[in-house]
Amino acid sequence: MKKQRHLISTTHIILLSFLIAILIGSILLCLPISSADGKFTPFLDALFTATTSTCVTGLVVTPTVSSWSVFGQVVILLLIQIGGLGVITIMSGLMILLHKKMGIGDRLLLQDAFNLNSLSGLVRFVKRVVLGTFIIEGLGALFYMTVFVPDFGAKGIWISVFTSVSAFCNAGIDIIAENSLCDYALNPIVNIVTCFLIIMGGIGYIVWWDVWLTLKKAPTKKVKFLRDLSLHSKIAITATLFLIFIGAALIFIFEYNNSKTMSSYTLFEKIQASIFQSVTTRTAGFATLPQENLTNASSIVCLLLMFIGGSPVGTAGGIKTVTFIVIIVAALSSIRNKEDTVLFGRRITKQAVSKAVAVTFMSFFIMFVSTILLSAVTNASALDVLYETVSATATVGLTRNLTASLDNIGKLIIIFTMYLGRVGPISLAIAFSSKKQNQNIIRNPVEEICVG
């Protein structure tokens, strides 16, 4: 029995925990109490909804606002929160709350769940993550209430809470309208609050505490903010800001005269809509512009932003900002014939570069296979299919109106793509490898090859 237990790695447990959450959610959503019309929901539609909620993707086959009862919406919200924080994190938080001691096995699970390099300070880290999450989601809900309560009355409180959790967890599922946030495209409060929540969830928990600790030092000594941050935080923050503003600038240019999106907007409104579109493509999935009306140029920009996603150890998906920057800098170093990959005066380890390559390759492979399969079962355009599969792989949730028209095979393809995209390509590579390679074996001889 002991030998068998050791065969189940922490990565397998993480994969199974998400799968179990999805299956339980599917069963609950199938029940008549979960549907708006009081009837049983087809299992495949319930499975799709549970998967998109737990994987914090946001693609939906039926409108959330009109398809589910309050009970069903509560189930969806719980799945979003579980997916955003992670099953392991929530279980660990409950153990801490109940004053249960965490063993080495629990700590290893947390380390893998957060993709951290050390076991040091894990319990304190979990406490901060859970507390910080609820504080930010609570503040987001309060600000949303200033808009949604006047618009919807007492129901606006529930809408505010749901939207805040969904935005922070980068889920992109809402219970406002069937056209997402398009009715609030020009509302500054909804735009600012949503962007803030998306960025805070997507920037990563490590960055939160690094910034907080750096700011705490400010009164006691002279602090040069960017210099005193860790390398990880420097890369995550600069990459996030760069991608948001470059993405917004390109979308602003390409959509400026597009009569189907924002040609009639004022200059301020165009800037606001462009920034929101750039932010939401970072795996959030809310829409203030109909995605099917974007120009081809804007759509391609959005595809790249979706594929990159947010930052590590956060609620966002994609290959992650740090991964993207490491890949770019490593490639430039190779072009310049430099042996080391250097960022902000610090050398990136070969292991980190190799992991970045592996994550990028696995994400691209999942997206590529999904695109081929979905193209084979649908008559949609190549751009619409690619938008759908990149959105599913990077757990974004934006669609060019393709999701609702998928047949059962198409739904299954997207379900698997969302799951694989959420649990992480690198985790899958580890989980399905038969056994760890022995590092002490005799290495194979080297032989030169031609590359490029």
**pLDDT per position as a tens digit, 199-211:** 999 998 888 888 8
pLDDT for 181 equals 93
Assess if residue 15 is contained within a domain: yes
pLDDT for 111 equals 59
353, two tokens: 């570069």
Number of Cα atoms under 13 Å in the Cβ half of residue 290: 11
DSSP 445: P
Residue 43 carries which side chain, given as an amino acid letter? F
Spatial CA neighbour of 200 closest among 189, 190, 211:
211
**pLDDT for residue 216 is more than 80:** no
The mean pLDDT of 207-235, rounded to a whole number, is 77
35, two tokens: 């549907």
Residue 97 carries which side chain, given as an amino acid letter? L
**pLDDT for residue 118 is more than 70:** no
Q: How far apart are the first and last CA of the chain?
A: 51
Residue 94's CB: how many other CB atoms inside 10 A?
A: 11
**pLDDT for residue 441 is more than 80:** no
Would you list the DSSP string of 256-322?
TT-TTTTTTS-HHHHHHHHHHHHHHTTTT---SS-GGGS-HHHHHHHHHHHHH-S-SSSS--SS-HH
The string of pLDDT tens digits covering residues 63-89 is 999 999 999 999 999 999 988 887 556
Assess if residue 436 is contained within a domain: no
Q: Give one word for 58, left, alpha or beta, with left for phi > 0 and alpha for psi -120 to 50.
A: left
The mean pLDDT of 320-333, rounded to a whole number, is 93
pLDDT for 299 equals 96
pLDDT for 127 equals 79
152, two tokens: 């919807």
Q: What is the total count of domains within the chain?
A: 1
Assess if residue 322 is contained within a domain: yes
The whole domain housing 321 covers: 7-428
pLDDT for 3 equals 43
335 three-state secondary structure: helix
- More confident: 290 or 13: 290
pLDDT for 83 equals 87
Assess if residue 357 is contained within a domain: yes
pLDDT for 435 equals 46
Assess if residue 451 is contained within a domain: no
Assess if residue 71 is contained within a domain: yes
Whole-number Cα distances in Å, 281 to 98, 202, 355, 380: 38, 11, 24, 21
Radius of gyration of the chain (CA): 22
Mean pLDDT, the chain, whole residue set: 86
User: Distance between CA 65 and CA 181 in Å, rounded?
Assistant: 12
Assess if residue 435 is contained within a domain: no
pLDDT for 27 equals 97
- More confident: 216 or 188: 188
